[in-house]
Amino acid sequence: HLSKTEIYEWLTSSYVGKFTKEEANYAIQKLNLPSEGSQARNKWVGNYYFKSDGKMAKNEWVDGGRYYVDSEGKMVRGKWVDGGRYYVESDGKMARDKWVDGGRHYVGYDGVRQPKLDGKQYNVALNRAKSYNSVLHMSKKDLYNQLTWNGFSSSAAQYAIDHLNADYKANALITARKYRKNNHLSKTEIYEWLTSSYVGKFTKEE
C-alpha cells in the first residue's frame, strides 16, 4: 500500500522501476489514486522495508533487528553485513550461535563473529571428545558434562558432540558389559545404572 509519491519514486528509481518521469506520471494518473494513499509503515514491501516514518530503510537492521537491508534498501541474504561482524542466512535472518559461511566462521548468541581463537577451541573440544569416546564410551549427556567441566564453553561442547558421530547405543552396550563384569548386576540393575542421571546418563532407548 504505497502512497502516490512512493509509487512515483519506485517507478523512476534507477534501482527499481527505471521508468522515465513521463511514463511514471502517466501511470500515476491512470491509477486514479486519492491525493495520498495509505503509506507503508513498519512493514516489508517485497524485499524493501519501510520504517515508522514511511521512509525506506537503508544500510541498517530492521524488523526487530532480525534482518539487514543494503544501501539500496534491499534485504541482504547469505552474506556478512554491518562491517563483516554479522552473518545473515539465505532467508535473510541474522545467524546466531552456529557455524556459518560454509563452516568457516562461528557466530555467538548475539550474532557477532567470533575470533579465530574460539574456532580453535571448538576443534580442541572435538578432539577431546573423540578421545573420551574411544576410551570411556560415555553417553551424550555425560560427555557434554565432562567437556564443560574441563572448561570448554557450552557451545564448544555442543559443537564437539554434534560433530563426533558417536554410536551411543554401542557405548551403552560396552558400559553395560562393564557393569555386569565388575559389579555382577542383574538386568534391571544394569538398566537403572545406565539410565541413572548420576551414573550412566544414557537414554532409555540406548
Condensed to tens digits (0 to 9), the pLDDT of residues 37-56 reads 456 788 888 888 988 888 88
Domain range spanning residue 19?
4-39
Is 74 within a domain?
Answer: yes
Cα 138 from Cα 134, distance rounded (Å)? 9
pLDDT for 39: 64
Is 22 within a domain?
Answer: yes
- 161 and 129 in contact (C-beta within 8 Å)? yes
pLDDT at 173 over 70: yes
* Cα–Cα distances in angstroms (integers) from residue 137 to residues 37, 111, 132, 134, 184, in the given order: 68, 34, 7, 6, 19
Cα 77 from Cα 11, distance rounded (Å)? 24
103 and 123 belong to one structural domain? no
pLDDT for 60: 95
* Maximum mean pLDDT: which of 45-59, 61-75, 112-126, 169-183: 61-75
CA atoms within 13 Å, Cβ hemisphere of 53:
3
Instruction: Dump pLDDT digits (tens) for 91-136.
Output: 999 998 777 887 778 788 788 887 765 667 788 888 889 988 888 8
Prediction pTM value: 0.44
Is 72 within a domain?
Answer: yes
- 81 and 73 in contact (C-beta within 8 Å)? no
Question: E-strand spans in 47-198?
Answer: 48-50, 60-62, 67-69, 79-81, 86-88, 98-100, 105-107
Cell 549427556 identifies what position? 141
How many domains is the chain built from?
A: 3
* Maximum mean pLDDT: which of 53-62, 99-108, 142-151, 176-185: 53-62
Residue 59's pLDDT band (cuts 50, 70, 90): very high
